Amino acid sequence: MLNKEKNKYKVYVYAISKNEEKFVDRWMNSVNEADAVYVLDTGSTDKTIEKLKKQGAIVKKGNIKPFRFDTARNESLNMVPDDADICLCIDIDEVLEKGWRKKLESIWNPTLTRLRYNYIWSFDKYGNPAVNFYADKIHVKKGYKWVHPVHEVLSYEGNEITVITDEFTIKHYPDSSKSRGSYLPLLEMSVEEDPDDDRNMHYLGREYMYYKRYQECIDTLIKYLEMPNAVWKDERSASMRFIARSYKALNRMRESKMWLELAKKETPYLREPFVESALLEYENGNYQEAIKNIEIALALEKPYKNYINEPFCYDGTVYDILSLSLFNTDRKAEAIYYVKKALDYDPNNERLKNNLEIMKNSVKES
């Protein structure tokens, strides 16, 4: 049942869908505090449309060829009535917390155009937030449109007035079985359409890395780093790390280390380049260098919310690398201490348990 109460603002949810039947019930229960829900279906062959309509969503079929996400999202936004005060673009694998309407209305005011809110993109296996950042898909209708074929963003005509809040959260539970096969050609299209867009260039380079097209990743991300508008240090540092990963995959360790050193200089306040350096040094038997890099990483605070954060830099991995490196430099008591700390994060990890026993027995034998 959708919201029937009298409220301060007209609040509408809009989305796109394709073969989402297993998420529909959870999603509709999540968004039912809205005044109405509008969904553009782009070709479901399962019961997505039937289930959405049964629970009160207004659904329209859209035949978008060639498919691109910005066109689909704009068509779904066009379904929203013009009397909307607040539009929420919520994907069907995302979940709003119960009572979200009241929170949203307490945060919103008529001068705002967009809200940046707490977004949990992924969770670890124990249910704790892993990748957590601020998203911004809550907005007024007038003046906004979606741009870019993939990794689409909202563009606004005029002067935006935004506010950031931690009081409003959306949680993402992605379907790992869904293919990302369309992303690469769409990213290539994005860069072709707008070659000066640094964000798309970064995403394209990263996508080449995912596809193990390492030389193309390196070439694309170097091009990104040379762009005059590529000035966000966190993203630049991530690009340098992805270049380093690609060189590592090509077994070119000297270049990999060089790019990680550049990443550390770019963002000395982030753990990521130091932890990746530690991994590289450990795998190459340079245990003292691995220890040095982990100690620097551990001295850095967990950063502000950022989609570039790597979960392995803030979980037991750092203690795991440190314990192994200490053990290999005959600092066994310290190694035992840190493998126990790694187990605090992952108490069921059999490898870590075995490492602890090996280390304890080694101390007894010495």
| CATH number of domain containing 76 | 3.90.550.10
Q: Residue for token digits 């949810």? A: 13
DSSP 226: T
Question: Does the pLDDT of residue 303 top 90, yes or no?
Answer: no
Residue 14: what are its φ and ψ, rounded to 5°?
-135, 155
Do 25 and 148 reside in the same domain of the chain? yes
* Tens digit of each residue's pLDDT (9 = 90 or more) over 234-261: 999 999 999 999 999 999 999 999 999 9
Which domain does 256 fall in, by range? Answer: 183-285
* Tens digit of each residue's pLDDT (9 = 90 or more) over 141-163: 999 999 999 999 999 999 999 99
Residue 366's pLDDT is 66
Residue 91's pLDDT is 97
Residue 96 exposed, middle or buried by CB count within 10 Å (0-12, 13-18, 19+): buried
Q: Are strands 94-96 and 153-156 parallel, antiparallel or unpaired?
A: unpaired
Do 149 and 15 reside in the same domain of the chain? yes
Q: Residue 85 domain-assigned? A: yes
As a whole-number percent, the residues of the chain with pLDDT over 90 amount to: 89
Question: Does the pLDDT of residue 4 top 80, yes or no?
Answer: no
Residue 5's pLDDT is 63
Do 167 and 30 reside in the same domain of the chain? yes
Least confident of 139-148, 172-181, 220-229: 172-181
Q: Residue 318 domain-assigned? A: no
Do 86 and 164 reside in the same domain of the chain? yes
Residue 160 exposed, middle or buried by CB count within 10 Å (0-12, 13-18, 19+): middle
Confidence band for 220, pLDDT divided at 50, 70 and 90: very high
Q: Residue 352 domain-assigned? A: no
Q: Residue 16 domain-assigned? A: yes
DSSP 141: S
Residue 358's pLDDT is 95
Do 189 and 272 reside in the same domain of the chain? yes
Residue 55's pLDDT is 95
Confidence band for 305, pLDDT divided at 50, 70 and 90: confident
Question: Does the pLDDT of residue 126 top 90, yes or no?
Answer: no
* Tens digit of each residue's pLDDT (9 = 90 or more) over 30-73: 999 999 999 999 999 999 999 999 999 999 999 999 999 999 99
The β-bridge partners of 153 are 147
Question: Does the pLDDT of residue 166 top 80, yes or no?
Answer: yes
Q: How far is CA 157 from CA 75, 117, 141, 160, in A?
A: 18, 21, 11, 8
Residue 334's pLDDT is 97
Average confidence score pLDDT of the chain: 95
Residue 25's pLDDT is 96
